[in-house]
Amino acid sequence: MKEWLKKHDTLYFMLTNKRFVGGMIFILSMVTLAILGPWLAKIELRWYLENGVKEALDPTANIGIPYSPPSSQHWLGTNSFGQDVFLQLVYGLRSSLLIGIIGGGLATFIGLVVGFVSGYSGGMIDELLMMLTNIMLVIPTMAVLIIIAAYLPYRGVMIESVIIGFTGWPWTARAVRSETLSLKSRGFVHLARISAVKPMRIIFGEIAPNMLSYVFMVFILQFGGSILAAVGLDFIGLGPTRGTSLGLMLQQAVLWNAIQLGMWWWIIPPGAIITALVAALYTVNTGLDEAFNPKLREM
Amino acid sequence: MDILKVDDLKVYYKTLRGSVKAIDGVTFTIRKGEVLGIAGESGCGKSTLVNFFVLPKEPMYHAGGSVILEDKDITKLSKDELRKIRYEKISIIPQYSMDALSPTKKIRVIIRDIMREHGRHVDYRLVEERLEMVNLSKRVLDMYPVELSGGMRQRATMVVSTLLNPKILIADEITSALDVSTQKFVIEMLMGFMEKKIVDSMVFITHDLSILYQIATRVMILYAGKVVEIGPMEEVIKRPVHPYTKALLYSLPEMNVRFKEKRLEGIPGHPPHLLNPPRGCRFHDRCPIAKNRCEEEEPPMIKVGEDHYVYCWEVKA
Amino acid sequence: MIKIENLTKIYSTGVVGRGGIVAVDDVSFEIKTGEIVSLVGESGSGKTTIGKLILRLIKPTKGKIYFAGREISRYKPLEYYRNVQGVFQDPFSSFNPIYKVDRIFENVNRYLLNLPKSEFWGKVEESLKSVGLNPRDVLGKYPHQMSGGQLQRTLIARALVIGAKFLVADEIISMLDASTRVDVLNILGDLRDSMGLSILFVTHDLSLGYYISDTTVIMYRGSIVEMGDTEKVFKNPVHPYTKMLLESVPTLDRKWKPSEEIFKVEGDVTSFKGGCKYYSRCPFRKDVCREFDGKLSEVEENHWAACILFGGD
């Protein structure tokens, strides 16, 4: 195994990089928590289920006694409405990760396409696309998000992700464009052109695969960025009108004076998870940077 | 008189797959007043060798042998002690000297910092004099390296490297990125440093033997981390002895041959990987006269003329 | 085979394209069938730009290039690239590092040839052998497992598989090791002699040009200063720039003469408008040179130079 790894430098450096491995372990454990969450909740709330409280597994259901601190019945206590904090946390984590994947994925995808096409084609197309990108960059994103979100009467996690994805791509586009510009002048692109290979195939068959590591890093950054953006939206009250999310939990906790009432179990867990998750994503990103960039590798 | 004595020096690179034996038992000296040329193809270890004298950096490491500079073995010095020697005793114009200067500092500041590190004050009269030697005006002092052209930056590096009158100046492939007409000026400027006794000796590294021929007094030919031939420049070019030197010289188009009249031949095969170099002579698999012994045992050093040595089994003294 | 007429390429700088760098300035010459023409120049002379223009990698600002009597922009890409091919300077960047070497051949068959697989790969093996490579050392390998010389030969083999009649060889041996350089040159010479391949050999190294080419074109800052039969240009140079170049080339049979003072002066080369481009560096300059239009005139049969003073002192 070790011998095989040594033949694949990048993989070897990835798996021996403390930042990458540490960050990844945390992220994966959060993903596991999100996946196993509902099942764990069944164990947590078994008393309610045994007593026939059917809506116990609905995170918005007011099932418990309000203001109770953590106990064996409510692992993370209840909030002012008697909702189970652990249950909310698990579902909130799910929606935050979903927003990260969909919002981050969408932003990465749009950024890649715009960046590739702009960088490769040059000329008029490039100037138009870059004009659009720059306009998107200077418009305050939060303001756009507020306006769009306010116009939609019903907002789910999906719509929130899409909004975030459509506003988060410009810097990715610019970075991908400049990377494409430098790859475009490489010999193998010229060689493909004099083999009469079609432009789209050159972009996606020759240039893009060389940027896989880079794209991976961009996605991770966008993933973290989307989660943060969603928390921001939730916090100012423009989050999902249905369901729950980590940002929404924070917003309600602040709204109902959780801090003043000393209800730390309502505010610390979602806050800590968001902070740690985003921090872990950035750590993974720096770890990857070290693994992909031979100059930064530590021997 | 020898200024620098290198004895059985080994410099390896640490990699995941093992040690790359870039310099593997090299012995030579640098004498006062000479221009020693070091020639060889890419990967023969010529740059590793001189960079080891000046800036031994990870993953490069010392794997044996000694380098004696004025009775001191510099392989045993700490990084700080080495830094003191740099610029004062031994100085390098690096291969990518166009990019050797810090881009955020003015030339004046770069010079001041280096002087300060060596506990000296800057003598601007001297600096201007030196700039003039390389055809730069003193305005350059208040410019940032980015404001200079590649050639100007290289010449500024030449001034910075020689400001403390080092005993030995190393020029590492400084002409390979230049146009033919500028190559000549740069080399003439270097020779100016020698003539004015600013530097005592020079080491000139290149893959281009015809450039070396213009300036070097002695030449050392490296192949795959080992010396194959060392001797007076004129003699090595006119009467090469080692089969590698001969083949290399025969493969160079020289403005006196044309394909239609005389076909030159390259050397078949390519140099060995230095992760696991072959036993015996490292050239044996490409050598036209190799015998069984060449595959088994390292070739001995044979004296073939005045000051002219060759490492080969098939050569008679 | 290839005829270049008043070719000009200006790279626009700035957004609106106001500024411009004249890379190639009104250049005309011809490459005959079965001929190797070396295009010699220092950096910034425009030699590589001409190669790119011929390969249609960039568009000319003015002027025309003809292949077999027809303007090259009027060919369909497929038709054109079946005839005109190129090999570039850096062998390692010519191959996509993440694919096996086979990829460049696959692209050729997929887009240019469309031959049945067995026929195509048979042709590939044959071409590889004809450039002195063992197909087993090439096919199925990644580029980083091969040497620069092997990669450049593979690229020449690629042009052979396509059946190109004209090859642009842009500094193809400048990054190779001395001991393998001449072999690649010899391949070019052999292909010319055996199949009548025409080659534009772009180089900064005069001795390589002398060794291999029939005709030499010398460029300085976008213009041709001298051209003609290689033997004549090298043995009887007329233009001061050519003379200076030939004198500066280091060789193993003579030592350099000390440079003349004037060559050391780096004139402000960009601000000068009109007249001979070499004026600011020329040791023989006269006032008439400021009026010179840069046109080539015949020195002898098959030898032209752009110097108003030649024939004089």
ipTM of the complex in this document: 0.89
C269 and C45 Cβ atoms separated by less than 8 Å: no
Residue A131's CB is within 10 A of a number of other CB atoms, namely 10
For the residues of chain C, what is the DSSP string, one character each?
-EEEEEEEEEEEESTTS-EEEEEEEEEEEEE-TT-EEEEEE-TTSSHHHHHHHHTTSS--SEEEEEETTEEGGGS-HHHHHTTEEEE-S-HHHHS-TTS-THHHHHHHIIIII---HHHHHHHHHHHHHHTT--HHHHTT--GGGS-HHHHHHHHHHHHHHHT-SEEEEESTTTTS-HHHHHHHHHHHHHHHHHH--EEEEEES-HHHHHHH-SEEEEEETTEEEEEEEHHHHHHS--SHHHHHHHHHS--SSSPPPPPPHHHH----TTT--SS-TTGGG-TT--GGGGG-----EEEETTEEE--TTTT--
In which band, very low, low, confident or very high, does the pLDDT at B38 lie, cut at 50, 70 and 90? Answer: very high
Contact A6 B58 (CB under 8 A): no
pTM of the model: 0.84
d(CA B157, CA B101): 7
What is the least distance, in Å, from the CA of A123 to any CA of chain C? 10
Task: Establish if C95 belongs to a structural domain.
Answer: no
Contact B179 C208 (CB under 8 A): no
**What per-residue confidence (pLDDT) applies to C272?**
52
pLDDT tens string C149-178:
899 999 999 999 999 999 999 999 888 888
Beta strands C297-300 and C223-229: pairing type?
unpaired
Q: Give percent of chain A with pLDDT exceeding 90.
A: 24
Answer yes or no: is pLDDT of A2 > 80. Answer: no
**Domain that includes residue C219, residue range:** 2-83+165-305
Contact A191 C97 (CB under 8 A): no
**What per-residue confidence (pLDDT) applies to A295?**
58
CB of A210 less than 8 A from some CB of C: yes
Rg (CA), chain C: 21
Q: Which amino acid is at B271?
A: P
**What per-residue confidence (pLDDT) applies to A4?**
64
pLDDT tens string A109-127:
999 999 999 998 888 889 9
Hey, what domains does chain A have and what are their CATH numbers?
13-296 (1.10.3720.10)
In which band, very low, low, confident or very high, does the pLDDT at A297 lie, cut at 50, 70 and 90? Answer: low
Answer yes or no: is pLDDT of A265 > 80. Answer: yes
**What per-residue confidence (pLDDT) applies to C271?**
44
Task: Establish if C204 belongs to a structural domain.
Answer: yes
Hey, what domains does chain B have and what are their CATH numbers?
2-89+168-176+200-311 (3.40.50.300)
What is the least distance, in Å, from the CA of B16 to any CA of chain A? 7
d(CA A118, CA A106): 18
CB of A193 less than 8 A from some CB of C: yes
Q: Which residue did the predictor score with more confidence, B96 or B195?
A: B195
Residue A115's CB is within 10 A of a number of other CB atoms, namely 28
d(CA C117, CA C108): 12
The encoded tokens of residue B313 equal: 């089994």
CB of C85 less than 8 A from some CB of A: yes
Answer yes or no: is pLDDT of B90 > 90. Answer: yes
Cα pseudo-dihedral A206, A211, A215, A221, rounded to 10: -160
**How many domains are there within chain C?**
1
CATH number reported for the structural domain that contains residue C251 in this entry: 3.40.50.300
Mean pLDDT, contiguous 10-residue spans, chain C (313 residues):
94 66 93 96 91 95 95 95 95 90 94 94 95 92 88 95 96 87 93 95 93 96 95 94 90 81 50 74 84 88 90 48
User: By CB neighbour count within 10 A (0-12 exposed, 13-18 middle, 19+ buried), where does B5 fall?
Assistant: middle
Q: Please tell me what DSSP assigns to residue B299.
A: P
A-proximal residues of C, 26-55, CB under 8 Å:
55
Q: Please tell me what DSSP assigns to residue A224.
A: H
Task: Establish if C20 belongs to a structural domain.
Answer: yes
pLDDT tens string A26-48:
999 999 999 998 888 888 888 88
**What per-residue confidence (pLDDT) applies to A54?**
76
**What per-residue confidence (pLDDT) applies to C16?**
55
The encoded tokens of residue B30 equal: 């640098």
* Chain A residue whose CA is closest to B58: A299
**What per-residue confidence (pLDDT) applies to C219?**
96
Mean pLDDT of A237-251: 81
pLDDT tens string A138-192:
887 778 777 877 787 777 888 888 888 988 899 899 999 998 998 888 999 999 9
Angle between helices A141-151 and A212-235 (to 10 degrees): 60
**What per-residue confidence (pLDDT) applies to C19?**
66
Beta-bridge partner residues of B60:
B13
Name chain B contacts of A6, Cβ cutoff 8 Å: 16-17
CA atoms lying within 13 Å on the CB side of residue B105: 12
